[in-house]
Structures are given as structure tokens and as C-alpha cells.
Amino acid sequence: MVKVLMKGNEVIAEAAVHAGCKYFFGYPITPQSELVAYMAKRLPEVGGLFLQAESEIAAINMVYGAAGTGVRVMTSSSSPGFSLKQEGISFLVGSELPAVICNIVRGGPGLGNIQPAQSDYFQVTKGGGHGDYHIPVLAPASLQEIVDLTQDAFDIADRYRTPVIIMGDGMLGQMMEPVEFYEAKPKEVPKKDWATTGTRGDGGPKIITSLELNAESLEKHNHHLQAKFKQIKENEVRFEAYETEDADYILVAFGTVARIAMNAIRKARQEGIKVGLIRPISLWPFPEKPFIDTRDKVKSYITVEMSAGQMIEDVRLAVNGHAPVDFFGRTGGVVPTQEEIYHKIISVAGGVEV
């Protein structure tokens, strides 16, 4: 297969088409608008349908309707728009409907700006909407990884009947890299015998709902959801560990920040400082194992984020007091530089500032 040079947002869209997604309901918002435009052009070519909704709220509810018929369906947005989708996402979880939602994160809070950020980490990993839930969140660091993870996102959604979030930052959405698409091996996903497509030929009426007025019944449903989340935690953790075996210091970063951190690590290694990287790829379920494996050996972890420090809370939980956890972050759309991260490593390592 040949490599093609594409923009991140377009790669997500094309990868979704390769994953069998034929329906997309979206609303324009920078910096993910190319995704919407790509789908508008592309989906009719594969016999699918693109519809521009009147709002992000309508878009996620159109996704809810389409998902209920059993098709692979997707929507995307960026932070302020993603906030608007929370109600619908909570309903998708409650009604157990599979869908893929992409959040190309920008600076916040409020209208913020259109620069890259990771400050929606809490929102995507801790539930986001009302109720007791988690959603699988995949955070690619490169455009090629988007291709793999988008396929995974649809498979996970179908396998567990859950919405799945693909989280990138504005940089990932806007950058161009060569990527290679491939026909994915069809994954075993359960038959969607719960879909509401009319009862002709399939017995009695089916109901899709998240309402359960009886407290004991709703608790039972919540226990069922929790059991599913536990299963997802057991099966769907993804991470990359880079040079952590001999590391005295381990950086923790995800998405594009991990790539910048990687360069800082190489420079520090040249200076003789043993630094490694843990890159969570699934932000939820958060990868605890690489921390358990390293927390009694390292001198310190350094979490690097494009936020005021959100993932650091999960890092601390995984480290569980076995080692100090330091932090370096830039917010508001400022991207941390390789030098800044390098200097942070030096300062934590007790070396002389270069």
C-alpha cells in the first residue's frame, strides 16, 4: 500500500470510513472542521450519509438515533462543542449504544482559543456527563496511530455497546504526515439483536432506553454497567513504555506531547541521565501496570501535559505513594517545547541548568 500525505482530521475521517462507518452527524468547530468537511465529501462515495446538524446537541442525538439502528456511526467536535455533547453521551452510555466520538481538544475554559490543548482530560476520562460511568478513550500520538486506533474504537464500541472517544489535540488534527491505510481484518463483534429497525420478521418490539424508575432496577443496571467497565479495564488497556527498564526518571505524557517528550528524553540520555517515557494510549482505562512495574525503581515521575495538571491525578493513583510525581505543563494552547521539558528533567534530576 502506498503512503499518502494527509491532515490529522482527514486521517480520522478516512480511518473511520475504513472501519465501516457510513454515518456521520456533525457541526463545524475549529480545529476539527476538516473532519466534518471530509466526511461530507467522502461518505456519499461509499453509499453512506453525512448530515450537518443544527448544533452539537442535535448531532449527538442524531448519533443516538442512528446507533440504535445498529450501524457504525460517528460524530466529532472540539472542546466547547464536546461539552454540549455530554448529555447525549450520558444517554448513549445508559442506553448502551455504540458510537465513536472524536474530541480535537483546544484551549479552554469557556470559548478559550483554537490552539492545541489537553485540558479536557478530566472531562473525557472521568465521565463528563451526569451519572456513574466511564468511556474508553484512545489518544493517538501520530497520524499512523490514528488509523489503528480508529479501527479499534469502532470495534470496542460494538464489542461493549459503549460510546468510545478518540481524543487528540488541535496539533494532531491540523498536522500533516504520511499515512498508510489498510483493510482491517474483520473483528468478531456481537450481533446487534438489540437494534430498533422495526419488528418485521424479528419478533416483538425492542426498546432502547436509559430510564429505570425503580431504584433497585436502576442499581442492577448500574452494576451491569460497572461489570462491563471492569471488563474493559481488563481487556482494553493500551500504552507504550519507552526506555523505562533502567530509568531513574520517567516522563508520563500522551498524544503529541509524548512525541515532544521523546525528543527531550533522547537529549537527556545523551547527557547520561537515564530517563524513560510511559505513554498512556488508552486514557481510560488508565494503564496502571507500567507504573506498578517501575514505581519501586525510579527516583521520580514527571507528568507533562498541555493542561494545568489533570492526568497527574491518575499517575499519582497508579504510583500510589511509591515515588514522587512531579509536573510540567503549559496551558491555554501553549505547546511545551523540547527544551522546556529537558530543563524540567535536569531540574528534577538535580543537575545543573543548562
Partner 1 sequence: MITVYEKTKGLTDKPTHYCPGCTHGIIHRIVGEVLAEMDILEDTIGVASVGCSVLSYEYFNCDMTQAAHGRAPAVATGIKRVLPDRFVFTYQGDGDLASIGMSEVIHAAARGEKITVIFVNNAIYGMTGGQMAPTTLIGQKTVTSPEGRNPNIQGMPIRISEMISTLDGAAYIERVSTHDVPHIAKVKKAIRKAFETQKKGIGFSLIEVLSTCPTNWGIDPIESLEWMKNNMIPAYPLGVYKNIGERE
CA distances (Å), 218 to each of 60, 81, 138, 221, 224, in order?
Answer: 24, 29, 29, 5, 10
Distance CA 33, CA 209 (A): 31
Structural contact between residues 280 and 137, judged by C-beta atoms closer than 8 angstroms: no
Residue type, 5: L
Residue 214 engages partner 1 in binding (rule: CB under 8 A)? no
Segment interacting with partner 1 (CB under 8 A) among 56-64, 244-252, 290-298, 305-313 = 56-64
**Binds partner 1 (CB under 8 A): choice among 110, 209, 215, 296:** 209
Task: Closer to partner 1 by CB, 1 or 215: give it.
Answer: 215
Residue 148 engages partner 1 in binding (rule: CB under 8 A)? no
Residue 25 engages partner 1 in binding (rule: CB under 8 A)? yes
Residue 88 engages partner 1 in binding (rule: CB under 8 A)? yes
- Residue 225 dihedral angles phi and psi, to the nearest 5°: -65, -45
Distance CA 258, CA 118 (A): 12
* Residue window 90-109: x/- pattern of binding to partner 1, with contact defined by CB under 8 A: -x---x--------------
Task: Closer to partner 1 by CB, 206 or 299: give it.
Answer: 206
Distance CA 19, CA 43 (A): 12
Distance CA 262, CA 81 (A): 31
User: Taking the complex as a whole, how short is the minimal distance between the CB of residue 25 and partner 1, in angstroms?
Assistant: 7
Residue 141 engages partner 1 in binding (rule: CB under 8 A)? no
CA distances (Å), 125 to each of 38, 153, 164, 282, in order?
Answer: 27, 15, 11, 10
Residue 51 engages partner 1 in binding (rule: CB under 8 A)? yes
**Structure-block grid coordinates of residue 78:** 472540539
Segment interacting with partner 1 (CB under 8 A) among 69-77, 143-151, 313-321, 323-331 = 69-77
Residue type, 66: A
Residues in a beta bridge with 5: 178
Segment interacting with partner 1 (CB under 8 A) among 52-60, 152-160, 165-173, 258-266 = 52-60
Residue 157 engages partner 1 in binding (rule: CB under 8 A)? no
User: Taking the complex as a whole, how short is the minimal distance between the CB of residue 94 and partner 1, in angstroms?
Assistant: 9
Residue 198 engages partner 1 in binding (rule: CB under 8 A)? yes
Q: If you write DSSP's letter for every residue of 53-91 in order, what string do you get?
A: -SSHHHHHHHHHHHHTTT--EEEEE-HHHHHHTHHHHHH
Residue 69 engages partner 1 in binding (rule: CB under 8 A)? yes
Distance CA 58, CA 294 (A): 45
User: Taking the complex as a whole, how short is the minimal distance between the CB of residue 173 and partner 1, in angstroms?
Assistant: 25
Residue 53 engages partner 1 in binding (rule: CB under 8 A)? yes
Segment interacting with partner 1 (CB under 8 A) among 8-16, 60-68, 232-240, 302-310 = 60-68
Residue 217 engages partner 1 in binding (rule: CB under 8 A)? no
Structural contact between residues 118 and 253, judged by C-beta atoms closer than 8 angstroms: no
Residue 61 engages partner 1 in binding (rule: CB under 8 A)? yes
Residue 84 engages partner 1 in binding (rule: CB under 8 A)? no
Give the closest residue to 250 by CA, choosing from 187, 298, 199. Answer: 298
Residue 207 engages partner 1 in binding (rule: CB under 8 A)? yes
Collect all residues with Cβ–Cβ distance below 8 Å to 267 and sequence separation of at least 6: 338, 342
- Is omega for the bond preceding 28 within 30 degrees of 0, making it cis? no
Give the closest residue to 124 by CA, choosing from 138, 110, 112. Answer: 138
**Binds partner 1 (CB under 8 A): choice among 1, 2, 200, 321:** 200
Task: Closer to partner 1 by CB, 88 or 170: give it.
Answer: 88
Task: Closer to partner 1 by CB, 207 or 354: give it.
Answer: 207
Structural contact between residues 125 and 283, judged by C-beta atoms closer than 8 angstroms: yes
Task: Closer to partner 1 by CB, 201 or 321: give it.
Answer: 201
User: Taking the complex as a whole, how short is the minimal distance between the CB of residue 49 and partner 1, in angstroms?
Assistant: 6
**Residues in contact with partner 1 by the rule CB under 8 A:** 23, 25, 49, 51, 53-55, 57-59, 61-69, 71, 73, 87-88, 91, 95, 196-201, 205-211
